[in-house]
């Protein structure tokens, strides 16, 4: 389906991510620097990215995945020089994820990930799967957060990742996890952005996680209350 563009939904989600990235877990107080960062978010950038991804016409897991990866690589590398392809094999074909990294100053091996998948599907998947909401919207958010945060420094490493082939078994993200050396990279938390552009401006932000990782949902929910952002905690035993 094509995009029913909901600017407020984008901004609320971006607000949450920016606060999490810039806050200390020890102190939940409003910070002026976060307010400044938020004001630099561009709704036009968000809309442009969604429309450009939509204009690929189909991003079905077997269609145009390499071209879309190249597009996202070029876009995010303009903001973050440390951008690479993560190449993996599936069914004898090589596919690409895109990873941009802002290295942490104090704890470079401890990583926070902000991610989204860029493939899409529909009933006419081979010829028409524009995926404006699912999930060009998530990719637009990741790209805009990367642009904004690229001018700042952080204690922990932040990775912005675009995953390919999510719709048919999370192939891209699974391949990335398998490639990690836990002695070199410890993932502290992940914010996965999926389908944030469609719906009413009165909707809240669903914070979905498993019981084991409820700490990050509790933390983000506290931030939401601090900044008057409507959030809803959803703890599921089984979720991706």
Active-site annotation, residues: 166
Q: What whole-number distance in Å separates Cα of residue 87 and Cα of residue 73?
A: 13
Q: What whole-number distance in Å separates Cα of residue 129 and Cα of residue 108?
A: 38
Cβ partners under 8 Å of residue 80, min gap 6? 100, 101, 102, 146, 150, 160
The one-character DSSP state at 104 is -
Cα 99 to Cα 38, 165, 166, 226: the distances in Å are 23, 15, 15, 31
Q: What whole-number distance in Å separates Cα of residue 34 and Cα of residue 152?
A: 11
* Contact criterion met (CB below 8 Å) for 141 and 46: yes
């Amino acid at each position: 389906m094509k995009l029913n563009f909901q600017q407020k939904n984008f901004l609320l989600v971006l607000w949450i991510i920016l606060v999490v990235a810039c806050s200390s877990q020890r102190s939940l107080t409003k910070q002026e620097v976060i307010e400044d960062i938020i004001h630099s978010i561009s709704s036009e950038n968000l809309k442009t990215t969604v429309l450009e991804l939509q204009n690929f016409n189909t991003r079905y897991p077997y269609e145009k995945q390499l071209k879309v990866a190249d597009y996202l690589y070029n876009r995010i590398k303009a903001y973050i020089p440390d951008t690479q392809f993560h190449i993996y094999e599936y069914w004898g074909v090589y596919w690409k994820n895109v990873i941009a990294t802002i290295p942490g100053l104090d704890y470079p091996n401890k990583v926070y990930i902000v991610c989204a998948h860029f493939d899409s599907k529909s009933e006419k998947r081979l010829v028409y799967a524009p995926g404006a909401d699912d999930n060009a919207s998530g990719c637009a958010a990741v790209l805009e957060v990367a642009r904004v945060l690229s001018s700042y420094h952080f204690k922990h490493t932040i990775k912005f990742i675009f995953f390919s082939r999510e719709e048919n078994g999370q192939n891209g993200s699974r391949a990335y996890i398998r490639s990690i050396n836990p002695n070199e990279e410890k993932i502290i938390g992940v914010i996965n952005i999926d389908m944030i552009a469609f719906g009413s401006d009165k909707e809240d932000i669903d914070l979905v996680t498993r019981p084991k990782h409820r700490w990050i949902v509790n933390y983000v929910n506290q931030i939401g209350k601090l900044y008057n952002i409507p959030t809803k905690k959803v703890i599921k035993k089984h979720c991706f």
